[in-house]
Structure 1
Amino acid sequence: MQLSPDQIVFWQYGVFKLNATIAFTWALMLVLAVGSRLITRRLTDDVGPSRWQSLLEIVVTGIEQQIETVGLKDPRRYLDFLGTLFLFVATAALCTIIPGYESPTASLSTTVALALTVFVAVPWFGIRGQGLGGYLRSYMEPTFIMLPFNIISEASRTLALAVRLFGNMMSGAMILAILVTITPFLFPVVMTVLGLLTGLVQAYIFAILAAVYIAAATRARKPDAKGQSEPEQPIATEGLVHG
């Protein structure tokens, strides 16, 4: 039983390896890029759009509503990044029904890469929203003593994102592999369906957590009557599912 797609090597030359993680990651990116091009090449404002356009509008509208619910103004500004994160993780989970396919999100290297994109995106959007000075001052609120703790928080939540996604995705694959060897055919099929649902839930959680971190970095602050800074609006995390 393969514990990680990193262990499946398709080609190797010296220290260079082409394993399942790299191959399926690029295959997913190709599928998403080609699929988005095919769906969006004939968009129309007519009354009766195609089924693919209708599906695209449903997905985009749903993602925008979730981004706005978290507390981010102008959801379109963050749609490209957060939508891509969600679609990649969700597609990686849905493709597990294909024989021979190994989800790249079951590899720690992939989940670390995804978490690092969030790590870079948070200050990027934070600086765009508050300016460089305003974003850096947020590390010293409510007092400069909090600076090292806020820096540690940035690093620790990136690690938590990676380990969370990796653990949840790999554990489902391992349970399914064990059940296939010790139980009849029907039960693993049921577990496969549950695995697809779990993958979609993890994609949602990962994207929502990324949105929450970005919202924390971009929310504007204004002084209150006592001269202390207060967030302009709270970040809505109500109803967030923890897996």
Structure 2
Amino acid sequence: MTISPDGIIFWQWGAFALNATIVFTWLVMALLTLISWLVTRKISTTTEISRWQNLLEVLVIGIRDQIRDVSRQEPGRYLDFVGSLFLFIAMANLLNVVPRYMAPTGSLSTTTALAICVFVAVPVYGIVYEGPMTYLIHYVRPTWLMLPFNIIGEISRTIALAVRLYGNIMSGTVIVAILLSLTPYFFPVVMELLGLLTGMIQAYIFAILAMVYIASATSAHQRIAKTNNQNQPPADEKGEAHG
């Protein structure tokens, strides 16, 4: 029983192997690109819009609202990254209804790549909005002795992101395969529907956790700006003091 798309080889030449993980990952990206182009090629700014544009707007607004609720910041700067993570994982998991398809998120290499993207994005966002020194000094607070522990914490949560998504998708595949061998008609259908629900939940959780990590890296910048604003006297007081 094949539980990971890594074990399915479509073509191999020497050390290079084209497995199902690579093929289905490119398939998901191609479908997302095609759907995006079809929906936005005749996008309308009037009140009369197509059903697909309406669905797209609902989806984008929903993602923006979730980002705003989690980060307490304007969602525009995070929408592209977090939205791409959610849409890719969701599409990859939803396609499980297609026969002979295996979600690339059932491969540890795919989930690790996604987690590494988050691992890189967190300090990038933090450095952009706080500055290099202000962000990096967090790793040595309250003392320099915390530096290795903070680094280990960054690495461990990246591993947790990858393993959590991989474990949930892989376990669903195993359960469906076992039930299919025992009762090949009714239970696999139910489990397939449950697997779709689980896949969507996992896409949501992964995107939310990514946003939580990014928000924690930029929250200090917001607190510093707020503190500076509170310490500044009002405009009229400045005028009186100057006079």
TM-score with structure 1 length normalisation? 0.90
When residues 107 and 124 of structure 1 are mapped into structure 2, their CA distance, relative to the original with a 3 A threshold, is: same
Alpha-carbon distance between aligned partners in 2 of 1:138 and 1:144, rounded to the nearest angstrom? 10
User: 1:15-34 alignment to 2 at 5 Å?
Assistant: 15-34=15-34
1:142 CA displacement: 2.7
The SS at the match of 1:42 is coil
1:210 and 2:227 matched: no
1:140 CA displacement: 1.8
Alpha-carbon distance between aligned partners in 2 of 1:223 and 1:32, rounded to the nearest angstrom? 38
Residue number among 222, 225, 232 corresponding to 2:224 in the alignment: 222
The SS at the match of 1:102 is coil
CA offset digits 1:65-112 (Å, max 9, x no partner): 000111241201110000000001000110000011110000000000
Per the alignment, residue 82 of structure 2 pairs with: 82
Per the alignment, residue 132 of structure 1 pairs with: 132
1:198 CA displacement: 0.1
Greater mean deviation of Cα atoms: 40-49 or 216-225: 216-225
Q: Which amino acid aligns with 1:222?
A: I
Per the alignment, residue 237 of structure 1 pairs with: none
Alpha-carbon distance between aligned partners in 2 of 1:33 and 1:224, rounded to the nearest angstrom? 40
User: What root-mean-square deviation, in Å, do the aligned CA atoms of Structure 1 and Structure 2 show?
Assistant: 1.5
The SS at the match of 1:222 is helix
The SS at the match of 1:101 is coil
User: 1:149-188 alignment to 2 at 5 Å?
Assistant: 149-188=149-188
CA offset digits 1:26-58 (Å, max 9, x no partner): 111111111111111121111121101100000
Per the alignment, residue 238 of structure 2 pairs with: none
Gaps of 5+ in 2: 228-243
1:196 CA displacement: 0.0
Q: Which structure has more helix as a fraction of its residues?
A: 2
The SS at the match of 1:100 is coil
Per the alignment, residue 241 of structure 2 pairs with: none
Gaps of 5+ in 1: 226-243
Alpha-carbon distance between aligned partners in 2 of 1:223 and 1:146, rounded to the nearest angstrom? 25
The SS at the match of 1:47 is coil
Alpha-carbon distance between aligned partners in 2 of 1:72 and 1:14, rounded to the nearest angstrom? 51
Percentage of pairs with the same residue: 59
Bigger Cα Rg: 2
